[in-house]
Amino acid sequence: MKDLFTQWAFANDALQLALVGAGFMVLAGMALLMEWLRGRNRSLDRLEKVGWVPWTPIFLGCAFVGGGCLAMSLPVVLAGT
């Protein structure tokens, strides 16, 4: 765990930004999956198990932030510096 923190602390800013962006994209994928699962629910006439979490805005926000982070870090990460 200490080695992982040391690698994170001494990584360049673009790599850190790329990892944060990848994390946000994973969260966006999870939100998309949860929205898809809620849409497959067959008991929409009953009030149980409908769900109250706004997965679509969570997906859009995470995808926007993650895509922006990845786009900003892409030139430096691809160059390898």
Sign of the torsion formed by the C-alpha atoms of 19, 17, 78 and 12? negative
The confidence band for 15, taking pLDDT boundaries of 50, 70 and 90, is confident
Prediction pTM value: 0.81
The confidence band for 76, taking pLDDT boundaries of 50, 70 and 90, is confident
Higher pLDDT, 76 or 31: 31
The confidence band for 10, taking pLDDT boundaries of 50, 70 and 90, is confident
Query: Which of 19, 16, 25 is closest to 58 using CA atoms?
Result: 25
Q: List pLDDT tens digits, range 46-75.
A: 555 667 889 999 999 999 999 999 999 988
Contact present, 15 and 69 (Cβ < 8 Å): no
| Phi, psi (deg, nearest 5) at residue 13 | -65, -35
